[in-house]
Amino acid sequence: MTKEEARRRIDRLRRELEKHNYQYYVLNKPLISDFEYDTLMHELMELEKRFPEFADPNSPSQRVGADINKEFVQAEHEYPMLSLGNTYTREELIDFDTRIRKEVHEPFKYVAELKYDGTAISLIYEHGELVQAITRGDGTRGDVVTDNIRTIRSIPLVLQGSGWPERFIMRGEVFMPFEGFNRLNEERIRNGEEPFANPRNAAAGTLKLQNPSLVAKRPLDCFLYYLLGEDLPTDSHYENLQIARTWGFKVPEVMERYEGLEGVFRFIDRWDVQRHELPYATDGVVIKVDSLRLQERLGSTAKNPRWAIAYKFKAEQAKTKLLSVDFQVGRTGAITPVANLEPVQLAGTVVKRASLYNDDQIRQLDLHLGDTVYVEKGGEIIPKITGVDLTQRPPDAVPVEFVRNCPACGTPLVREEGEAVWYCPNEEGCPPQIKGRIEHFISRKAMNIEGLGEETIDLLFREGLVHDITDLYDLRPEQLAPLERLGEKSAMNIIRSIEKSKEVPFERVLYALGIRYVGETVARTLARRFRSIDALAEASFEELVETEEIGEKIAQSIRQFFQKPKNLEIIRKLKEKGVTLEAAPEEAEEAPPLLAGKTFVVSGVFEHFSRDGIKETIVKYGGKVSLSVSSRTSYLLAGDKPGPNKMEKATSLGVPVISEDEFLKMIGENRP
């Protein structure tokens, strides 16, 4: 294949894959199967690998995220990202309407939209392509999270259709649907990690991850709901969004335009009920003046726009009776109390159980068996007890006491200083912990051993075939085939999958070991820093805490893990079985600090770099990036069409202005 043929094929594949992304993630109307999509993606990635000169940060292949940890730079918002004023009553909405009408002496319309419970994002598009994504931050400046945003498949990297301005800003809300949120929390609990309190926290926390490849694995989505910039299609906020939908943006379907508050109130009443049927969290309705001209005239206060307001829904609450409390044992030995309730209808579902989190919450609520309790759904998804109706407490009600011995093995529990959680310390003899560690070890993101599930692990444990993770590698087909629900074919598949797990890379094996507080991200960091299980085992506390993302709590947990003879014995056996306990040789050396001590301001369009790409390169070689020219600026790196204000300030301060070619020479690169 010639270069020209490759370029044409790459362009065609990119257009086709973006079309299928739009059909699947925005319209929810897929045109091809997952297999066909994966085949096209594989072909594109192979061609981009063979012809790196056609690399493009907005290629569909980049949605998997680069496997690189890096700190976020910050950028200023061209238009401040103000927060909305909140209201909770119709009277307050009427007051809002009265204030508007005192200022506006002409007919106007309101647009009513749902208020999405996620994290706000500002997307900048130039020439129909995404160039930068910035979080809200403090409203004036936020973190640049472009690489993370590129992994969200419902956000267009390249626009379709026509008529979009040369440069504009699209704002919206990154959120996590309930289904993906539940899966993520279940996984975190299995890993011994703290679950997210609600989808909003999960979405915000994910955008803050330093590794885009990890962001790509999280089920994020995004609604876009506000268009900003010069030369917009119309003066109507509502109509602009309908047009933006044709450019490929996922604009919410739930949006209505009204001439007065009567229609707005109907919208609020309808969605206060129907919101419980939605697959994502909403916490209110946003009311905006439709005309952009009137929005500008009304202006804003220091914190809030005067032309928009949020009506917040009341959290739905139910009263029911507390029947009993169970105490569950996790794989790390953590004891979690769970309340058993009289079934009650709440937010469209029947609630029978609610998390009590820990001993402190039980004490704070002063819970008694038989109490009538108030139950809410935190973040519209997690049932939780928020209070007790003391007027209905039975006179003989007994206080709920947190267990002091493990409910599974009877061992006295321990609680470390500064922690809220009680643990069973009997790691080697407590059945739920043993089985939990094995279940974690075989899970998809760990060793990915197929054919074994929770029930099968329980069966193998009861039959005495496995006592720890190393026993899996001693299993034989003739031991498995006679067991319930298995047979010869299933037995052979399990043995093959166990054998294949020996090829799993070191970072996943480290995660699979189930060291407390060592999740996927931390395991990856440790594997790259220490390169082998032996080096990690010998690492001092000081060496651990000097490692990025490793705090004292994690370091202490790692040291404790390797001080236990049982764990050292497990590692010895895993080595004997041929499990990968050493990282593969690194492909590239770390870039030399050629730009150390130098601060750059970047302006204009570059031939060999995207705007973000050239900033990343500066940081890679030890330099710093600043947003504005000052006396501390070392160089203004100017591409085509640099900002005149920056050029003028650099000249007045005597700051050297360098070209892209001069920058390449500074870092020792010579690109044609």
Residue 564 domain flag: yes
Judge whether residue 183 has pLDDT over 50: yes
* pLDDT of res. 382: 63
* pLDDT of res. 221: 94
Nearest by Cα to 189 from 418, 382, 324, 322 = 382
Judge whether residue 563 has pLDDT over 80: yes
- 613 shares a domain with 520: no
Residue 147 domain flag: yes
* Coil, strand or helix at 5: helix
Answer whether 657's CB lies under 8 Å from 650's CB: yes
- 155 shares a domain with 264: yes
11-15, 172-176, 581-585 — most confident range:
172-176
What is the edge-to-edge ordering of all strands in the sheet holding 635-638? Answer: 624-626, 599-603, 635-638, 657-658
For the stretch 270-321, pLDDT in tens is 998 898 888 898 889 999 999 999 999 998 876 789 999 999 887 777 899 9
Query: Residue 134 — pLDDT band, cuts 50, 70, 90?
Result: very high
Judge whether residue 66 has pLDDT over 60: no
* pLDDT of res. 380: 46
- 207 shares a domain with 354: no
Answer whether 376's CB lies under 8 Å from 406's CB: no
For the stretch 461-479, pLDDT in tens is 999 999 999 999 999 999 9
Residue 398 domain flag: no
Range of the domain at 628: 599-666
- 237 shares a domain with 301: yes
For the stretch 507-552, pLDDT in tens is 999 999 999 889 887 898 899 889 999 999 999 998 898 776 688 8
- Lowest-confidence region among 250-264, 399-413, 640-654: 640-654
**DSSP assignment, residue 468?**
S
Positive or negative torsion for Cα 419, 425, 430, 433: positive
Dist. CA 120–CA 172, nearest whole Å: 6
Average pLDDT of span 192-221: 83
Dist. CA 262–CA 90, nearest whole Å: 11
Distances (CA, A) of 277 to 112, 270, 287, 350, 381: 19, 12, 22, 14, 12
Dist. CA 368–CA 31, nearest whole Å: 56
Residue 567 domain flag: yes
Answer whether 250's CB lies under 8 Å from 195's CB: no
Single-letter amino acid, residue 264: V
Nearest by Cα to 139 from 81, 76, 84, 85 = 81
Buried b (16+ CB within 10 A) or exposed e, 110-140: bbbbbbbbbbbbbbbbeebebbbbbbbbeee
* pLDDT of res. 338: 92
- 193 shares a domain with 211: yes
- 652 shares a domain with 547: no
What is the Cβ-side half-sphere exposure of residue 523, based on CA atoms within 13 angstroms? 23
- 165 shares a domain with 297: yes
CATH number for 381: 2.40.50.140
Answer whether 145's CB lies under 8 Å from 72's CB: yes
CATH number for 638: 3.40.50.10190
For the stretch 209-236, pLDDT in tens is 877 888 888 999 999 999 998 889 999 9
* pLDDT of res. 67: 43
Dist. CA 542–CA 558, nearest whole Å: 12
* pLDDT of res. 64: 58
CATH number for 56: 1.10.287.610
Query: Residue 71 — pLDDT band, cuts 50, 70, 90?
Result: low
Query: Could you tell me which residues are beta bridge partners of residue 337?
Result: 327
Residue 62 vs residue 95, higher pLDDT:
95
Query: Residue 619 — pLDDT band, cuts 50, 70, 90?
Result: confident
Judge whether residue 68 has pLDDT over 50: no
Query: Residue 176 — pLDDT band, cuts 50, 70, 90?
Result: very high
Average pLDDT of span 228-245: 94
Residue 265 domain flag: yes
- 148 shares a domain with 256: yes
Dist. CA 659–CA 251, nearest whole Å: 40
* pLDDT of res. 196: 78
* pLDDT of res. 188: 79
* pLDDT of res. 548: 65
Residue 279 domain flag: yes
- 361 shares a domain with 506: no
Judge whether residue 587 has pLDDT over 60: no
Answer whether 152's CB lies under 8 Å from 222's CB: yes
- Lowest-confidence region among 453-457, 508-512, 622-626: 622-626
CATH number for 465: 1.10.150.20
- 306 shares a domain with 323: no
- 636 shares a domain with 614: yes
* Domain end position, chosen among 278, 312, 346: 312
115 is catalytic: yes
* Domain end position, chosen among 14, 44, 64: 64
Contacts for 660 with CB less than 8 Å, ≥ 6 apart: 606, 607, 608, 609, 614, 637, 639
Considering 19, 49, 102, 115, which one is annotated as catalytic? 115
* pLDDT of res. 65: 52
Nearest by Cα to 3 from 57, 71, 55, 50 = 50
Q: What percent of the chain has pLDDT over 90?
A: 49
Dist. CA 181–CA 219, nearest whole Å: 7
Query: Residue 455 — pLDDT band, cuts 50, 70, 90?
Result: confident
- 265 shares a domain with 134: yes
Residue 420 domain flag: no
* pLDDT of res. 672: 44
- Lowest-confidence region among 113-117, 362-366, 610-614, 638-642: 610-614
* pLDDT of res. 670: 57
Contacts for 114 with CB less than 8 Å, ≥ 6 apart: 252, 254, 271, 275, 282, 284, 285, 286
Residue 244 domain flag: yes
Buried b (16+ CB within 10 A) or exposed e, 533-554: beebbebeeeebeebeebeeeb
Total domains in the chain come to 5
Greatest extent of the chain over all pairs of C-alpha atoms, in Å: 86
Write down the pTM of the prediction: 0.52
